[in-house]
């Protein structure tokens, strides 16, 4: 084999290796802006991530993000069963959960991307438009079963057993037994529709479903419901889950939004997490009326005379 034949053979091998996914990416099929990635999201955040994925794929046409919306419990189980590399839930993993992953030699990267809230919704005909945290606890534990203004029985509806909203309220009551007037449907959207048709019900949903006033779907959901104000103590000032009150925590039912990732540092999973942490993703979060984790927040106080 002469020198030119050797050069040609080596070149052919190099081209073959590169075309099979070798070269600079070391066999990796995706990058921060190219490839396919399946990500599990808590159903409370569906409106936010429908917009975020649409924007991300518009910026990077070679990227294909497949969202799967499930309850928080289902998502965590799927992660530990190695069915998914990237998830979005309302908390970071516990020290014990991280230790178990470390034993399995799995490197986990956790990033908080936003602050969020749980919203309480009622029918517009219900005159009990505010309540305290203590009153809410009494309702959730069956100690307070009647509306003050009407005397009608209170029914509490969640999106799903084992959801982030359900888990949040269970922690609020220290996992006290649930009374018979509390039940679950299948989604935040079903909670909203149930409250619209049942004046004695109180619905518990993620605020993201009703927070973006520029979104037609969110505005449609707001028709036929009222968002309750919540106070930290009996007789105290009640606040609704507006952005400013989530930020200052004057609205007491706040929580965090976390993305947890074991995808390749140079792959599409990580690229999308980075996008949500950086300026464009944080702007989408701000527009969705949630509170950004890394971008500055301006609070403007207005008074009227």
Task: Say what the alpha-carbon torsion angle 175, 181, 184, 185 is, to the nearest 10 degrees.
Answer: -170
Task: Establish if 239 belongs to a structural domain.
Answer: yes
Q: CA–CA separation, 255 vs 118, rounded Å?
A: 8
Q: At what angle do helices 164-172 and 72-80 cross, to 10 degrees?
A: 110
The pLDDT score that the predictor gives to residue 19 is 33
Q: Does residue 68 have a pLDDT over 70?
A: yes
- Please check whether residue 35 lies inside any domain of the structure: yes
Q: Which of the four pLDDT bands, split at 50, 70 and 90, describes residue 223? A: confident
Question: Of 243, 244, 70, whose CA–CA distance to 166 is shortest?
Answer: 70
Residue 77 sits in the same domain as residue 204: no
Per the domain annotation, does 4 fall within a domain? no
The whole domain housing 161 covers 116-254
Which pLDDT band holds residue 191 (cuts at 50, 70, 90)? very high
pLDDT of residue 29: 83
pLDDT number for residue 221: 75
Quote the pLDDT of residue 77: 95
pTM: 0.85
Is 268 within the bounds of a domain?
yes
pLDDT surpassing 50 at residue 7:
no
230 phi, psi to nearest 5 deg: -130, 135
Quote the crossing angle between the two packed helices 164-172 and 133-140, to the nearest 10°: 100
Query: How many structural domains compose the chain?
Result: 2
Q: Are 230 and 251 in contact (CB under 8 A)?
A: yes
Whether 236 and 173 map to the same domain: the answer is yes
pLDDT over threshold 90, residue 299: no
Distance in angstroms (rounded) separating the CA atoms of residues 50 and 206: 15
Question: Does 9 fall in a domain?
Answer: no
């Amino acid at each position: 084999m002469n020198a030119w034949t050797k050069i040609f053979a080596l070149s052919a091998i190099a081209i073959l290796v590169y075309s099979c996914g070798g070269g600079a990416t070391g066999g990796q099929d995706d990058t921060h802006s190219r490839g396919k990635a399946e990500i599990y999201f808590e159903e409370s955040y569906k409106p936010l991530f429908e917009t975020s994925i649409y924007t991300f794929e518009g910026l990077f046409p070679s990227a294909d993000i497949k969202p799967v919306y499930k309850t928080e419990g289902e998502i965590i189980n799927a992660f530990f069963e190695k069915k998914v590399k990237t998830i979005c839930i309302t908390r970071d993993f516990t020290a014990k959960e991280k230790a178990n992953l470390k034993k399995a030699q799995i490197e986990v990267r956790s990033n908080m991307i936003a602050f969020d809230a749980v919203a309480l919704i009622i029918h517009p005909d219900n005159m009990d438009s505010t309540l305290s945290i203590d009153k809410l606890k009494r309702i959730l534990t069956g100690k307070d079963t009647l509306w003050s203004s009407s005397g009608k029985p209170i029914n509490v509806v969640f999106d799903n057993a084992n959801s982030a909203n359900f888990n949040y309220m269970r922690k609020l009551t220290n996992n006290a037994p649930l009374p018979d007037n509390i039940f679950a449907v299948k989604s935040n959207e079903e909670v909203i529709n149930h409250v619209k048709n049942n004046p004695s019900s109180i619905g518990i949903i993620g605020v993201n479903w009703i927070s973006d006033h520029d979104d037609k779907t969110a505005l449609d959901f707001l028709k036929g419901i009222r968002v309750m104000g919540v106070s930290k103590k009996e007789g105290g000032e009640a606040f609704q889950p507006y952005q400013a009150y989530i930020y200052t925590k004057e609205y007491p039912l706040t929580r965090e939004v976390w993305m947890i990732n074991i995808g390749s540092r140079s792959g599409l999973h990580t690229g999308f997490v980075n996008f949500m942490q950086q300026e464009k993703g944080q702007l989408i979060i701000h527009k969705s009326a949630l509170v950004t984790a890394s971008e500055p927040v301006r609070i403007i106080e207005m008074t009227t005379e």
